[in-house]
């Protein structure tokens, strides 16, 4: 039957498209709008990306099947300079890039067209839509496709920024941003789109401390301004030639590297001279805040590329300082070399300034001793420094010696002391990257000050509160993220929303020099999919998409007539779009990878709550984890992953879809493993073969117990699937459809089930439950069975409770249990049985269980209650101790179970059921099995076995 998966996939994808079942139009059904966070256009995607996308299609398909009108639109995000740098490289015939494109299936003749950024974007848009999403059988509404670089999308973003401005959420203030001297601003992030090195670097704020020496200042950069009370000396690297900078009427001394960095952040700096580090050793300088004269000592650890290359020394709390001071004190040669008097050296003693639980007077000394550090340059010093800093910051308090800051927590004192010193002119601020960052062009990246940077004020208190409150009403998965999102929102600060430089994106409507950056134009966009369809079809032009137009269709402000007058858009179309918005919005579910948790999702929420009315705020978020390579993350830019087109040939689309749905919880990373993926393809093949076999069965007899069992089981499964999918639990859906239902049909056929009417009912339900995850195979099987229409359009029936029978389901469990018990006994004893007898429980024992069920239903089952109730029956009372023994056992076995679990045991006619199954069990086990009721007179029971039979657990006798 399975000629070729590719043919099956093509056939059904074509049929879905012909019937337009993916197109979403407003109607009177309830609606469900779902998206995945659109991907950035930075190159080819890999098998890991398809995981979350597949969840969206499968959830959408399930929703369709259960009565919803589903809108699943897609788009791409191309803002930034990724496409620019890619097109530049293609233009320059960069071998690495050309090879990468060809290897991923880009036709060679296409390359010459990819030399401008927009053609690169359009090229990848087609790859994403055709080679990934359509190839995977997604029922997305392609007519709504949008990209952040489309002119109509830009009009939407302009409107969004007008609304943010109206809400008072656009603010301007100085900003320190990474920039390349020739390319302008660059993004420093792990994707390294703009960079050739240093994507993990962070921007760190240093406090510049000014140490007066006559008419000039030695400048030290520190991350710990709260330690100034502990300053006892000052470090200079004798091997470095420092620079003198004129700043206003002051002269600053810093390393040459720091001078260069400072130029990008401070105005009016001019170099006025140089001075060798060794020439400053022995100077006395005045420390800020404490106004003490401290000596300048030599230290090799002063790195001219870190901070200013000059360091203030606080040995009490800085391990480096402690070690270096010890060395000078112990080695007289150092002092002699720089003509430092022993008296001066001896006068320098650490000052205890911070008390931290678990540390003594000098935390730096404690940690050095604990870690066994003895010399300067020990690599463990870095960890020691971090540890003391962390412990001090969170648990430290300023000691008495710290003047007005005494008693304050370090966390608090830090900012207060910094602010005071800046106010009095003794300190300044400086930003630096935590590691070397190099632009794609090869130049070193610096932190540059931008005076009039625009921000979106996500730190706004009211906005944060309202958003956080709304999140409580949302369906956010996994639950850890639901609990954590409030912290994420509170932590979110103002975010720079525009950039200067050579970027692709929407121009900032309030100042054309700026381009709106990538995170800020990708937050409110789900609502744009409702309008994009009209822009794509040409019914509205970008120039007609004015603020007035969007105000009406999104916010209901104004009226259609005046929108028509000012834009020329037909009034009925304006009304139609407004109705579409009211119908489709809010967004029901936004699915995105875990990298979205800290930036995209919070910004998405904030923009909705800031701009739209409350009834349009998002209803759900689902985060999916990654597919990883063997022992490493699969990365889009760095390769290492299987390209999608090759993978679908090998594993089939449905094989991969089933793999994503079933291999793990969405909230755990999985390691890509070929054999595992292949095993899912094989399972689908087995299922398809089995369905073909079942559909050819023609039995037409009466409905017998095994038929009732099958229909009951399948209706139970449908109920379970429905409740699992309330929580979007695709994994449970997959377990039920591809494993449990499969096993049930296998059992049915083993038990001789052959009623074609029943089989067809079961197949209908089975194929429907497989449709969301493996739609191509499902269509193929649906058509093979001769069912009408397409399964992608079928409606899953509600559970038919009239077909459910707990006792029928229980009866088959009993047969299976008994068979496995017998097999176990034979195996353990190594017997060759001549005779196997199953004794079922006597009627009086069933009566005891009945009374237990009654008590369970009344919520009062325990040993005394059951004994009492049994003794109330004359029939039972006369059996005396046998009854009270059984009552004890039954009560303790069933006490914690629900009525549903226990009732089937007494509803089933156990003797008749097992007698019916005896021939089957005999043939399966390979030995004859007889079933006897303990109530029959003249029982053949040579070893008194029948006595131990209880309802639900027949006694097994083997001889």
Contacts of 690 (CB under 8 A, 6+ apart): 742, 745, 746
For Zn ion, give the closer residue by CB, 443 or 576. 443
Binding site for Zn ion (CB under 5 A): 180, 182-183, 439, 441, 443
Which alpha helices (DSSP H) does 303-454 contain, by range?
319-330, 332-337, 342-347, 363-371, 380-395, 410-423
Produce one character per residue of 123-158: b if its CB has 16 or more CB atoms within 10 Å, e if not: bbbebbbebbbbbbbbbbbbbbbbbbbbebbbbbbb
Nearest distance from C-beta of residue 443 to Zn ion, angstroms: 5
Contacts of 598 (CB under 8 A, 6+ apart): 488
For Zn ion, give the closer residue by CB, 441 or 918. 441
Which alpha helices (DSSP H) does 771-894 contain, by range?
775-784, 806-829, 843-858, 863-871, 874-877, 881-894
- Which residues on adjacent β-strands are paired with residue 932? 839
Q: In 3-state terms, the chain is what percent helix, strand and coil (to 5)?
A: 50, 15, 35
Residue 578 three-state SS: helix
DSSP letter string, 465-486: HHHHHHHTTSEEESHHHHHHHH
Nearest distance from C-beta of residue 179 to Zn ion, angstroms: 9
Nearest distance from C-beta of residue 182 to Zn ion, angstroms: 5
For Zn ion, give the closer residue by CB, 97 or 195. 195
Nearest to 612 by CA among 550, 560, 561: 550
Rounded Cα gap, residues 64 and 143, in angstroms? 19
For Zn ion, give the closer residue by CB, 183 or 621. 183
Distance of CA 851 to CAs 426, 862, 904, Å?
A: 88, 11, 14
Rounded Cα gap, residues 750 and 692, in angstroms? 16
Nearest distance from C-beta of residue 518 to Zn ion, angstroms: 18
447 membership: H or E segment, kind and range: strand 446-456
Distance of CA 161 to CAs 456, 483, 508, 610, 617, Å?
A: 9, 30, 8, 11, 18
Nearest distance from C-beta of residue 186 to Zn ion, angstroms: 7
Distance of CA 349 to CAs 15, 160, 233, 322, Å?
A: 85, 60, 9, 10
- Beta strand pairing status for 69-71 and 31-36? parallel
236 HSE (CA, 13 A, CB side): 28
For Zn ion, give the closer residue by CB, 71 or 179. 179
Nearest distance from C-beta of residue 439 to Zn ion, angstroms: 3
Nearest distance from C-beta of residue 93 to Zn ion, angstroms: 20
For Zn ion, give the closer residue by CB, 50 or 180. 180
| Placement of tokens 């993990």 in the chain | 200
Nearest distance from C-beta of residue 142 to Zn ion, angstroms: 38
Rounded Cα gap, residues 262 and 271, in angstroms? 11
Produce one character per residue of 55-73: b if its CB has 16 or more CB atoms within 10 Å, e if not: bbbbbbbbbbbbebbbbbb
Nearest distance from C-beta of residue 435 to Zn ion, angstroms: 17
As given in the structure block, the two tokens for residue 140 are: 């997305």
259 in Cβ contact with 311 (< 8 Å): no
For Zn ion, give the closer residue by CB, 182 or 832. 182
Nearest distance from C-beta of residue 510 to Zn ion, angstroms: 27
Nearest to 926 by CA among 853, 848, 852, 819: 819
For Zn ion, give the closer residue by CB, 441 or 488. 441
Nearest to 611 by CA among 167, 257, 308, 258: 167
Residue 312 three-state SS: strand
| Placement of tokens 């994503």 in the chain | 660
For Zn ion, give the closer residue by CB, 163 or 440. 440
State the Cα torsion 884-890-896-902 to the nearest 10°. Answer: -140
Nearest distance from C-beta of residue 437 to Zn ion, angstroms: 11
Nearest distance from C-beta of residue 254 to Zn ion, angstroms: 25
Nearest distance from C-beta of residue 440 to Zn ion, angstroms: 6
Nearest distance from C-beta of residue 452 to Zn ion, angstroms: 23
Task: Please work out, in degrees rounded to the nearest 5, the angle formed at the alpha carbon of residue 433 by the alpha carbons of 431 and 437.
Answer: 140
Rounded Cα gap, residues 481 and 469, in angstroms? 15
Nearest distance from C-beta of residue 199 to Zn ion, angstroms: 15
**Quick one: DSSP state of residue 597?**
T
For Zn ion, give the closer residue by CB, 182 or 479. 182
Nearest distance from C-beta of residue 442 to Zn ion, angstroms: 7
């Amino acid at each position: 039957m399975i000629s070729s998966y590719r043919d099956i996939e093509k056939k059904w994808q074509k049929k879905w498209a012909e019937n337009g079942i993916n197109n979403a139009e407003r109607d009177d059904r309830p609606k469900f709008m779902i998206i995945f966070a659109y991907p950035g256009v930075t190159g080819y995607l890999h098998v890991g990306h398809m995981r979350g996308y597949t969840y969206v299609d499968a959830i959408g398909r399930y929703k369709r099947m259960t009565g919803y009108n589903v809108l699943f639109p897609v788009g791409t995000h191309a803002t930034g300079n990724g496409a620019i740098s890619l097109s530049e490289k293609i233009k320059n015939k960069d071998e690495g890039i050309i090879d990468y494109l060809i290897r991923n299936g880009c036709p060679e003749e296409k390359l010459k067209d990819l030399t401008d950024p927009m053609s690169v974007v359009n090229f990848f848009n087609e790859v994403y839509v055709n080679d990934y999403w359509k190839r995977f059988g997604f029922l997305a509404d392609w007519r709504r496709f949008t990209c952040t670089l489309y002119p109509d999308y830009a009009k939407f973003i302009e409107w969004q920024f007008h609304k943010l401005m109206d809400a008072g959420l656009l603010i301007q203030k100085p900003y320190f941003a990474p920039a390349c001297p020739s390319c302008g601003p660059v993004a420093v992030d792990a994707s390294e789109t703009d960079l050739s090195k240093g994507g993990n670097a962070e921007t760190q704020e240093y406090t510049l401390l000014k140490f007066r020496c006559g008419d000039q200042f030695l400048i030290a950069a520190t991350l710990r301004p709260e330690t100034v009370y502990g300053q006892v000396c000052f470090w200079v690297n004798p091997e470095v030639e420092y620079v003198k900078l004129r700043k206003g009427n002051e002269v600053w001394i810093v390393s040459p590297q720091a001078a260069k960095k400072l130029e990008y952040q401070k105005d009016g700096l001019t170099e006025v001279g140089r001075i060798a580090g060794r020439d400053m050793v022995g100077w006395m300088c005045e420390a800020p805040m404490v106004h003490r004269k401290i000596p300048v000592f030599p230290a090799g650890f002063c790195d001219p590329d870190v901070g200013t290359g000059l360091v203030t020394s606080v040995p009490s709390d800085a391990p480096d300082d402690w070690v270096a001071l010890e060395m000078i004190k112990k080695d007289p040669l150092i002092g002699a070399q720089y003509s430092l008097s022993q008296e001066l050296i001896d006068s320098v003693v650490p000052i205890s300034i911070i008390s931290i639980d678990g540390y003594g007077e000098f935390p730096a000394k404690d940690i050095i001793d604990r870690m066994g550090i003895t010399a300067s340059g020990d690599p463990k010093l870095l960890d020691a420094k971090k540890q003391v800093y962390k412990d001090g910051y969170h648990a430290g308090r300023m000691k008495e010696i710290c003047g007005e800051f005494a008693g304050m927590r370090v966390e608090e004192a830090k900012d207060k002391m910094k602010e005071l010193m800046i106010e009095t002119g003794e300190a300044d601020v400086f930003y630096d990257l935590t590691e070397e960052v190099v632009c794609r062009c090869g130049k070193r990246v610096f932190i540059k000050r931008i005076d009039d940077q625009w921000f979106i004020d996500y730190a706004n208190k009211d906005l944060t509160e309202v958003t956080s409150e709304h999140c409580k009403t949302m369906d956010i998965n996994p639950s850890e993220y639901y609990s954590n999102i409030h912290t994420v929102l509170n932590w979110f600060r103002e975010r720079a929303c525009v950039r200067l430089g050579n970027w692709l994106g929407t121009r900032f409507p309030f100042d054309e020099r700026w381009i709106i950056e990538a995170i800020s134009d990708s937050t409110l966009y789900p609502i744009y999919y409702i309008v994009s369809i009209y822009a794509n079809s040409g019914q509205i032009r970008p120039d007609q998409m004015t603020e007035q137009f969007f105000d009406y269709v999104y916010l209901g402000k104004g009226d259609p007539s005046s929108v028509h007058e000012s834009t020329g858009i037909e009034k009925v179309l304006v009304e139609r779009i407004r109705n579409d918005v009211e119908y489709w919005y809010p967004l029901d579910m936004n699915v995105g990878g875990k990298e979205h948790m800290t930036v995209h999702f919070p910004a998405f929420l904030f923009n909705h709550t800031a701009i739209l009315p409350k009834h349009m705020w998002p209803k759900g978020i689902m985060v999916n984890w990654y597919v990883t390579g063997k022992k490493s993350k699969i990365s889009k830019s760095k390769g290492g992953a299987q390209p999608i087109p090759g993978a679908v040939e090998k594993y089939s689309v449905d094989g991969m879809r089933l793999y994503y749905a079933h291999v793990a919880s969405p909230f755990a990373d999985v390691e890509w493993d070929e054999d595992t993926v292949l095993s899912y393809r094989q399972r689908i093949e087995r299922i398809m073969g089995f369905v073909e076999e079942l559909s050819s069965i023609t039995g037409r007899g009466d409905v017998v117990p095994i038929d009732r069992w099958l229909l009951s089981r399948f209706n139970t499964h449908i109920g379970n699937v429905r409740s699992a999918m309330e929580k979007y639990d695709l994994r449970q859906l997959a377990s039920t459809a591809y494993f449990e239902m499969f096993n049930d049909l296998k059992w049915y056929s083993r038990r001789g089930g052959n009623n074609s009417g029943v089989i067809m009912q079961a197949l209908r339900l089975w194929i429907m439950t497989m449709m969301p995850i493996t739609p191509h195979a499902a269509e193929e099987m649906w058509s093979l069975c001769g069912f009408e229409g397409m399964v992608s359009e079928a409606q899953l029936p509600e559970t038919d409770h009239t077909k459910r029978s707990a006792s029928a389901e229980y009866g088959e469990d009993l047969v299976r249990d008994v068979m496995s018990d017998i097999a176990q006994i034979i195996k353990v004893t190594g017997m060759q049985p001549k005779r196997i007898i199953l004794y079922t429980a006597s009627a009086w024992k069933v009566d005891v269980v009945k009374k237990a069920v009654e008590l369970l239903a009344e919520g009062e089952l325990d040993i005394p209650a059951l004994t009492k109730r049994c003794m109330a029956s004359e029939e039972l009372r006369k059996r005396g101790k046998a009854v009270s023994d059984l009552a004890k056992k039954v009560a303790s076995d069933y006490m914690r179970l629900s009525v549903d679990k226990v009732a089937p045991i007494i509803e089933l006619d156990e003797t008749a059921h097992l007698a019916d199954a005896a021939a089957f069990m005999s043939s399966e086990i390979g030995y004859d099995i007889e079933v006897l009721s303990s109530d029959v007179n003249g029982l053949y029971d040579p070893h008194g076995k029948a006595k131990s039979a209880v309802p639900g657990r027949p006694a097994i006798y083997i001889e």
